[in-house]
Amino acid sequence: MRAICQLSALSFVLTISVTGCTTVMEYLPVYKLTIEQGNRIDQDMINQLKPGITQRQVMYAMGTPMLVDNFHPNRWDYVYRVQPGDADAEQKRVSLYFDHETLVGIQGDFKPDPKAPRVNKETTVDVPEREFEKTFWEEIVWLFEGMPAKTPKIIPENPDPETPVKNQQDNIFNNRF
């Protein structure tokens, strides 16, 4: 009887400790990453799309499509899925339709806003012309102006071709350098 009481007390303690660990683990702050997949899509990108623009212009504005179906090559799908660490996943989708490589239709979660002002994110900077006293090459030449020039060594001609000149090979190399 005593063994049964000890065994039941031990099982009770184990059950409480195991369930206690799971409840503690739920309240510990654990960092969860934000997971982004696909092409990032926003309204500014969609507002740049107008009917009649080419596929290259669409690719410049939107990026490379996430899906190009081999059975429907005139349809490009852009899918963007984001799942913040503690929240539910959110998915956005845009399908673009082409006819002879020109945009003819847009379908999905975004629609172009015809009243939206065109935002030019490109910046033009005017750089003033810089005046140099001397060019880089003139500076280099100026550094070596005071140095004496090397004069090549002259190898005397061998009057008798049958008698070899000693160290003739050395004389040729010294003449070159």
Structure tokens at 4: 């049964």
Residue 85's alpha-carbon distances to 42, 48, 99, in angstroms, are 21, 31, 41
Fold for 35-108, please state it: Beta-lactamase Inhibitory Protein; Chain:B, domain 1 (3.30.1450)
Structure tokens at 116: 């939206």
| 97-156 pLDDT per residue, tens | 999 999 999 999 988 887 777 666 677 778 777 776 777 777 777 777 766 666 666 666
| 2-53 pLDDT per residue, tens | 777 777 776 766 676 666 555 666 677 778 899 999 888 988 889 889 899 9
